[in-house]
């Protein structure tokens, strides 16, 4: 169970006049993307190999696991198209957060989708509980009373309300060659390239958070923020309409994306922070495996078989 939050931001490069999602996603396969765009995405995080990375990778099917049999290729190409989540992603983390920056280059294949269609956020929080119930034969040998917490575990709700271990906040970082193209961006079609495996229902366009960046002739970048009214404005440090230097844009975009996700988690009544989930799990294990014993009986139980 990860002690940190995990978020994903998807990056798109939009050429002047483009309105097709397929064309927009295909731009990163072209080596002629703006050098300023390439410089920008490398300021968001550091490249990691998906199959060798133990943290969040942008999709639940490849996160928190390391494949020991994986042998990296001899030629490590860090072109933009390789950060699509299949082989590499751009990753950033601190003590509290994990962020994966993904540059979609193609639609996920059918087998990749079907492997995660049945996955939901309640499954993620129940993995540990299921692993404990599978070891029922060892219960009698491990049922000692531990005074870790006198408070009983909170009762489970009988309704359909779940406390989700993760929230799926859709964040788009869009690099515009022409600033006016933000008016015709096909957000609904681009959502097909933004799957993380944490979806619990269809995403509304009005819930998508978008950070638009436009390179100006002066060498500065113009910022435009789009999202639900009353929420996106609370996410700093970027402000709608701000003009930013290219040397500062990377960290500012990163922390704005993180703060957007935090704002969305605070708006969710069903979200449990990582430290709360871990505490609840410890309480559940204590209540499930404890056995009330007097001190003499406890010592007898511990040393009887020595």
Q: Where are the domains of the chain?
A: 5-107+164-267, 274-304
DSSP-assigned beta bridge partners for residue 174: 12, 212
Please provide residue 77's backbone torsions phi and psi, each rounded to the nearest 5 degrees.
-95, 120
pLDDT of residue 209: 92
Cis-peptide, bond into residue 237, ω within 30° of zero: yes
Q: Are strands 97-102 and 5-14 parallel, antiparallel or unpaired?
A: parallel
Q: What is the pTM of this model?
A: 0.73
Give the separation between CA 201 and CA 198, rounded to whole angstroms.
Answer: 9
* Cβ-proximal residues to 89 (8 Å cutoff; 6+ apart), any chain: 47, 48, 50, 53, 57, 58, 83, 100, 101, 102
Average pLDDT over residues 169-186: 95
Question: What letters, b where the CB count within 10 A reaches 16 and e where it falls short, cover 250-271?
Answer: bebbbbbbbbbbbbbbeeeeeb
Average pLDDT over residues 24-44: 90
Q: Is 227 within 8 Å of 210 (Cβ atoms)?
A: yes
* Cβ-proximal residues to 232 (8 Å cutoff; 6+ apart), any chain: 209, 225, 226, 260, 263
pLDDT of residue 243: 97
Confidence of residue 225 (pLDDT cuts 50, 70, 90): very high
Q: Is the pLDDT reported for residue 211 higher than 60?
A: yes
Q: Is 23 within 8 Å of 186 (Cβ atoms)?
A: no
More confident residue, 199 or 181: 181
Average pLDDT over residues 190-201: 87
pLDDT of residue 224: 95
Structure confidence by residue, pLDDT tens digits, 121-143: 444 444 434 433 444 444 444 44
pLDDT of residue 233: 52
Confidence of residue 172 (pLDDT cuts 50, 70, 90): very high
Average pLDDT, the chain: 78
pLDDT of residue 259: 92
pLDDT of residue 1: 65
Give the separation between CA 13 and CA 106, rounded to whole angstroms.
Answer: 13
Give the separation between CA 290 and CA 279, rounded to whole angstroms.
Answer: 16
* CATH label, 5-107+164-267, candidates 1.10.287.130, 3.40.50.300, 3.40.50.80, 3.40.50.11210: 3.40.50.11210
Q: Picking from 136-145, 157-166, 281-290, which range would have the lowest pLDDT averaged per residue?
A: 136-145
More confident residue, 101 or 164: 101
Q: Is the pLDDT reported for residue 69 higher than 70?
A: no
Percent of the chain's residues with pLDDT above 70 = 72
Q: Is the pLDDT reported for residue 183 higher than 50?
A: yes
More confident residue, 100 or 141: 100
Q: Is the pLDDT reported for residue 76 higher than 60?
A: no
Q: Is the pLDDT reported for residue 163 higher than 80?
A: no
Place of tokens 């009762």: 155
């Amino acid at each position: 169970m990860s002690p940190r939050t995990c978020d994903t931001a998807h990056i798109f490069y939009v050429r002047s006049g483009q309105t097709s999602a397929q064309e927009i996603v295909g731009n990163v396969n072209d080596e002629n993307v703006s050098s300023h765009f390439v410089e920008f995405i490398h300021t968001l995080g550091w490249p990691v190999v998906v199959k060798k990375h133990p943290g969040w990778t942008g999709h639940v099917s490849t996160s928190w696991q390391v494949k020991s049999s994986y042998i990296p290729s001899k030629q490590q190409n860090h072109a933009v198209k390789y950060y699509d989540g299949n082989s590499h992603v751009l990753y950033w983390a601190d003590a509290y957060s994990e962020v994966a920056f993904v540059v979609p280059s193609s639609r996920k294949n059918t087998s990749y989708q079907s492997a995660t269609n049945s996955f939901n956020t309640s499954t993620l929080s129940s993995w540990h509980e299921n692993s404990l119930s599978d070891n029922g034969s060892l219960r009698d040998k491990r049922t000692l009373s531990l005074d870790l917490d006198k408070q009983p575990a909170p009762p489970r709700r009988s309704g359909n309300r779940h406390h989700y271990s993760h929230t799926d906040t859709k964040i788009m970082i869009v690099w515009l060659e022409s600033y006016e193209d933000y008016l015709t961006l096909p957000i609904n079609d681009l959502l097909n390239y933004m799957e993380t495996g944490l979806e619990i229902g269809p995403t509304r366009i009005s819930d998508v958070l978008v950070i638009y960046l436009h390179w100006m002739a002066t060498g500065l970048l113009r910022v435009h923020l789009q999202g639900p009214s009353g929420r996106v404005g609370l996410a700093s440090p970027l402000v709608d309409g701000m003009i930013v230097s290219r040397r500062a844009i990377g960290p500012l975009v990163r922390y704005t994306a993180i703060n957007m996700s935090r704002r969305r988690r605070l708006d969710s009544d069903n979200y449990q922070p990582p430290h709360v989930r871990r505490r609840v799990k410890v309480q559940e294990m204590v209540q499930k495996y404890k056995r009330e014993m007097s001190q003499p009986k406890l010592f007898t139980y511990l040393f009887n078989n020595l």
